[in-house]
Structure formats: C-alpha cells, structure tokens
Amino acid sequence: MMKHKLYDISRLLKETHIAVPVLLLCVLAMVILPLSPLVLDILFTFNIVMAVLVLLVSVNSKRPLDFSILPPILLIATLMRLTLNVASTRVVLLNGHEGADAAGKVIEAFGQVVIGGNFVVGFVVFIILMIINFVVVTKGAERVSEVSARFTLDALPGKQMAIDADLNAGLINQEQASIRRKEVASEADFYGAMDGASKFVRGDAVAGMMILVINVIGGICIGIFKYDLSASQSFQQYVLLTIGDGLVAQIPSLLLATAAAIIVTRVSDGGDMTDEVKDQLLAKPAILYAAAFVMFILAIVPGMPHLAFLSFTGLLLFAARQQSKKIQQADLSPDFTALNPVISDENALSISWDSIPAVEPIGLNLGYKLVTLVDESKGKPLNQRLRGVRQIISESSGVLLPEVRVRENFRLKPSQYTININGVRIAGGKSMLISSWLFQRHSNTVRLMGF
C-alpha cells in the first residue's frame, strides 16, 4: 500500500503542468514555515540563477514577443524574493546573536566578502544599488512600458485594417491574415502586461528598502534587550546580517529590472542584440578613428593613467582597421543575393510567373456603399457597363483593353471610388448616390449617375 502511494506521488511529480502551482505553494509556505540556513542558501542561489537566466534570455531575444512569458516570471520572481526576505528576516532576528553564519553561508558571504565585513561600506553599497534599481532602471522601464502599451493600443486598429486591406488585395491568404492578427493581439497583450509587471518590480525595490530599515531596528532592539549585547556589538552583528540579506535580494532584483528594461526598449527587426550592437555601434570606421584620437589626447594629458588610455586607443584603431577591410571587401564582391530574394532561397530552383505578385493593369476600388453596383442579386450593373465600355474602346482603337478589376476598399469613404493603373492611383471621386436613384432607366438604356 505504501509502495503504491509512493508510486502515485512520483508519477504526479513527473507531470510538468503542475510545476508552477507547486512552486507557488512552496513560495507561500516559506512565509509560514521556518527555514533552516541550508534551505535559505539553496533558495537564495536559485533566486540568483533565475535572475541571471532571465537576463541572458532577454538579451538574446530577437523580438519582445520571443520572451512573452516575462511578465508572469517577473511576478513570480518578485513574490519569491519577498517571501525569501520574510524567511531570512525570521532567521536573522531569531539566530543573529549566534554569529555571522547564523542565517546561512550566502548571507554571510555577501556580508563578509562582498562588503569586507564593514557595515558602513555595506550600507553605502546597498543604498547605491537601491538608487540604481529604483531611480534609474525601474523608473525608466516603467515609463517605457507605459508609453509602449499606450502606443501599441493606439496603433491596434490601424494594424488590423492594414491586415484586412492586404487580405482583400490578395497579398496574403486567410491563414496568414489569422497569424498576423494573433501577433498584433499578442503584442498588445504583452506590452499591457509589461506595464503592470513594471509596477511589481518598482514595488519590490521600495519593499527592499523598508525591510532593511525594519530589520536593522528590530535586530538592534533584540540584541540589546533580549540577548544582553552591547549597543556596538548588536549594531555590528545585526547590521552585517541585514545588509548581507538585503544585497543577496537586491542584486537579483536589479538583474530582473534590467531584463525588463531591455525587453521593453528593444526596437528590432528580428536580429540578435549582439549582432545589432556590433553592426551599428562599430559600423563606421571614421567614428572609431575619432574615438581613438580622443583617447590618445587623454592619454598624453599629465596625471592620466597613460597605459589604460593607450590600450583603448590601440583597441579602437584595430577595430576601425578591421571594419575598413570588411567594407572594402564588401565593395569588391557585392552580395547579389540581397538584390534578388529568390536567389537566397536554396529551395527556389526555378521561378515562374506564379512567383511574381500580380498587379492589375486597371483597377477600380469602391467604398462600401458602392458595393451594390457589383452585387450579383442586382445583376452586377457596373460590371455590365464596364464590359460595354471596354468593347467600344477596343473596337475603336484596335487594341484589346485589359479587364478592369473591381474591389471593395474599406479605407475609402462610403461613397468614394478610385481608379488605379498598374497599382497606382491616377483618379478618384465621390459618387452622388441616393439609394435606388443611382440607376435611372430611360427607354432601353441605363444611366450611371456620379461616374
């Protein structure tokens, strides 16, 4: 019986769809259950690894939608970090009098190694990190997220109309239009979610500062009144542990805020961020030569670190020289595949007229109130009239006039029409339609008003 239960539990743990709910339950359990220093070390390490992983994925994402799971990840990471602060605060206040390793090796390492065991240095470093995270990164990411969400929602109707226009023009099929509509909707949802997630990141920065102050005051009071420590001993012991706890929580918070800022500030055409930086920042050799000249001027100034400035001068000259060689080689051997996309396609062994997008010689676009002119139930009076005009002109000129392609265009006003030649508008106007008075019969002829 016990073996059967263990088998059911192991099979349940193998189900991947319950991983996130189980993680959330564990995060909430950390608020209630006391954790040992070893468990705190594991959780703090996992928090740092997760922040580094999110940052690297953000940098290597070609488009913001490639990392669409970022908003819920930010929420889960923020919740986990705050619950870790609660758990570590409990351990620090309960066992802080025992020594620097009372709250685990990770907090001890950040309190002793990173800040050198000096609580003044640690406090200054923590304040600097809070200013960078709260004032610079988080505030900027929040503003960019808000503006991006607003502009994306404002552009949503125009993008949907453009998709409908391409579909009506035959440039894309129904499946491609559906995919584009989903991308537009996903983009709007993503930036809206990022606008909300940035508020969580900013709130996390504020909570970290408040938790630090509360831990310092509470730790000093506990050390003096409960464990009979002197004021200096209590201050040094609990402040070191509190600052180590704050640093080990704020560094992942800064990494996640940076990842969110990178995603919302990406303006990319689908390229890798590293390649874009290399292609755009180092693209012009003249700028690299100018930067090398500035570094050389600074290097010869008395009192300056000559070796450092001369080293960067050499690196800039080397980069400028390499970029100049690449440009010269590109000029000598042009890339013909860029001139013809069909050549770059390895699968395109042959080309036919089906590969060339069709452009009608003569086109007539109608507003939605003029669609009744080509209604089958009404005999398509406009098509019949156009066919007659084509026949008359062809007989008189001796040249067969191309067929006129009639389409409905939602971008036009209801009673507006345009005439296109080879896809270019050359004329247009507005038809004076009054319900069924458009066609007025005189004897055996049909007169078209407004054209």
pTM: 0.64
Averaging pLDDT over each range in 3-7, 159-163, 381-385, 428-432, which range is the top one?
159-163
Q: What is the band of 352 on the pLDDT scale with cuts at 50, 70, 90?
A: low
The residue length of the chain stands at: 451
Element containing residue 426 per DSSP (H, E): strand 424-430
Greater pLDDT, 347 or 206: 206
Type of residue at 158: G
pLDDT of residue 441: 42
Return left, alpha or beta for 19; rule: phi > 0 is left, psi -120 to 50 is alpha, else beta.
alpha
Contact call for residues 285 and 324 (beta carbons, < 8 A): yes
What digits encode the pLDDT tens for the residues 430-446? 776 544 444 444 444 44
Tokens of 149: 């969400």
The answer to whether residue 78 scores a pLDDT higher than 70 is: yes
| Alpha helices for 33-138 (secondary structure H) | 37-60, 70-95, 105-109, 119-131
* Rounded percentage of the chain residues whose pLDDT exceeds 90: 5
pLDDT of residue 99: 67
Other Cβ atoms less than 10 A from the Cβ of 39: the count is 15
With 0-12 / 13-18 / 19 or more C-beta atoms within 10 angstroms meaning exposed / middle / buried, residue 126 is buried
Taking CA atoms, 444 is separated from 386, 433, 440, 448, in Å, by 17, 21, 11, 13
The answer to whether residue 340 scores a pLDDT higher than 80 is: no
* Spatial distance between the Cα atoms of 149 and 193, rounded to a whole number of angstroms: 8
* Spatial distance between the Cα atoms of 391 and 379, rounded to a whole number of angstroms: 19
Q: What is the band of 334 on the pLDDT scale with cuts at 50, 70, 90?
A: low
pLDDT of residue 91: 84
The two most distant CA atoms of the chain are separated, in Å, by 116
* Spatial distance between the Cα atoms of 86 and 64, rounded to a whole number of angstroms: 33
Three-class secondary structure of residue 428 per DSSP: strand
Strand partners, 366: 408, 417
pLDDT of residue 8: 55
What digits encode the pLDDT tens for the residues 115-168? 666 777 777 887 888 888 888 888 888 888 888 888 888 888 888 888 888 877
The pLDDT mean for the chain works out to: 77
Three-class secondary structure of residue 404 per DSSP: strand
* Spatial distance between the Cα atoms of 24 and 351, rounded to a whole number of angstroms: 56
pLDDT of residue 440: 41
Strand partners, 430: 416
Strand partners, 407: 365
Residues 125, 131, 132, CA angle at the centre, nearest 5°? 90
Contact call for residues 284 and 109 (beta carbons, < 8 A): no
Map tokens 């669609």 to a residue. 371
What digits encode the pLDDT tens for the residues 194-230? 888 888 877 887 887 888 888 888 888 888 888 777 8
* Spatial distance between the Cα atoms of 92 and 266, rounded to a whole number of angstroms: 41
Greater pLDDT, 399 or 445: 399
Contact call for residues 366 and 412 (beta carbons, < 8 A): yes
The tally of CA atoms less than 13 A away on the side-chain side of residue 150 is 6
Greater pLDDT, 358 or 210: 210
Q: What is the band of 297 on the pLDDT scale with cuts at 50, 70, 90?
A: very high
Map tokens 């986990």 to a residue. 80
* Spatial distance between the Cα atoms of 141 and 256, rounded to a whole number of angstroms: 11
What digits encode the pLDDT tens for the residues 364-374? 888 877 777 77
Taking CA atoms, 2 is separated from 6, 11, 12, 13, 162, in Å, by 6, 14, 15, 17, 63
